Amino acid sequence: MVFENRCVIITGGAKGIGAGCVEVFHAAGGKIGLLDLDRKAAEQLAERLNAKRENSVRFLECDVSDFERLEKCIDEIVEHFGQLDSMINNAGVHPPATAIDDFSIEQMQQLMNINFMSTYAGAKFALPYLRKTKGTIINISSMTAVLGQRLSTAYAATKGAQVSFTKALALEAGEQGVRVNAVLPSNVDTPLMREWAETLEDPQSALERVASLQVFKRMATPREIGQVCLFLASDQSSFITGQAIEADGGAALDY
C-alpha cells in the first residue's frame, strides 16, 4: 500500500495504459482523479473500483487538449480529495501511419495539442499543488521519442517533446522538491495498439511482428507500465528525477 491516502490524477485513465495505472494505484491504496473523454469506459472502471473502496475514484469528463477544462478538472480533483501527490500525463493518440507529405500543418498542431501541450498544461496546472506535497509528475512518452518510427514523424516528435520537457522541468521543480520523470514504453497491448494495427494491411501479422520486437516476444500489459509509474510516484524512487525510463522489454537491444 505504498500510495495509501495519496492522490493521483491520471489523464486518459479510462482505457489502455491509463487504466492500467488506475488499477495499480488503486491497489496501492491511492485516491484517483480519472480524466478522460470516454465517459462510458471511465464510469464503468470508476464504479467497479468505488465498489471495492468507497469514494476512491472520481471521474471527470475532460478533453486534455481543452486546457481551460484541464485546469478546472485538476482544481476540482484537488478540492475533492484535499491534496495532489502525483500527476500522470498519459492521454495521447497515434495517427495512422502517414508520410510527412500527407500530414498537414493543422493535423500536426492538433496532435501536438493532444500529445504534448496537454503534458505541458497538466504539469503546469498541477505544480502548485505538487509543491505542497513534494509530489511527482510522470509523463507517458514512447520509445519512438528516441528510436523514431517509420511514417510517424508527427507522433514521434510529440513524444520527443515530452522527454525534453521532462528533463528541463525536473531541474526547475526539483528545487521545490517535486520529481519529474518520463516513461517510454515500446509496445503495450492496448486499444490504441490494436486500432493502429487495424490501419495496416495485415493487422494480425503486424501485432505478431510488434510482439516479437521485445526480448520476451510479447507486448507489455498496461498494468506493467502502471507498476513503473507507481515506483516513480512512490518514495521508493526518491533519488530519481529527470529520467526517461525505457520500459521497452529490451526492444532497443541488439540493434
Ligand X SMILES: NC(=O)c1ccc[n+]([C@@H]2O[C@H](COP(=O)([O-])OP(=O)(O)OC[C@H]3O[C@@H](n4cnc5c(N)ncnc54)[C@H](O)[C@@H]3O)[C@@H](O)[C@H]2O)c1
Assigned C-alpha cell, 190: 492496448
Options 6, 15, 26, 179; binder of ligand X; rule CB under 6 A = 15
Which of 17, 22, 78, 230 binds ligand X (CB under 6 A)? It is 17
Pairing assessment for the beta strands 244-247 and 179-185 based on DSSP bridges: parallel
Active site annotation includes 155? yes
How buried is 18 (Cβ within 10 angstroms: 0-12 exposed, 13-18 middle, 19+ buried)? Answer: buried
Instruction: Write the binding mask 187 to 206 for ligand X: x where contact by CB under 6 A, - elsewhere.
Output: xx-xxxx-------------
Site stretch for ligand X (CB under 6 A), options 44-52, 100-108, 128-136, 186-194: 186-194
Site string for ligand X, 38-67 (x = CB under 6 A): x-----------------------xxxx--
Q: Is 226 in the site for ligand X (CB under 6 A)?
A: no
Number of Cα atoms under 13 Å in the Cβ half of residue 138:
29
> Which is closer to ligand X, CB of 235 or CB of 250?
250
Q: Decide: is 114 part of the binding site for ligand X (CB under 6 A).
A: yes
Span interacting with ligand X, options 51-59, 127-135, 184-192, 238-246, rule CB under 6 A: 184-192
Phi, psi of 254 (to 5 degrees): 60, 40
How many Cα atoms within 13 Å fall on the side-chain side of residue 243? Answer: 16
Does the protein bind ligand X through residue 18 (CB under 6 A)?
yes
Q: Rule CB under 6 A: is residue 77 a binding residue for ligand X? A: no
In angstroms, give the least distance from the CB of 134 to ligand X: 26
Which span (92-100, 126-134, 171-179, 237-245) binds ligand X, by CB under 6 A? Answer: 92-100
φ, ψ dihedrals at 42, nearest 5° = -65, -45
Nearer to ligand X, 5 or 107 (CB): 107
Residue span binding ligand X (CB under 6 A) among the ranges 77-85, 146-154, 181-189, 234-242 = 181-189
Residues that bind ligand X (CB under 6 A): 11-12, 14-18, 36-38, 62-65, 90-94, 114, 140, 142, 185, 187-188, 190-193
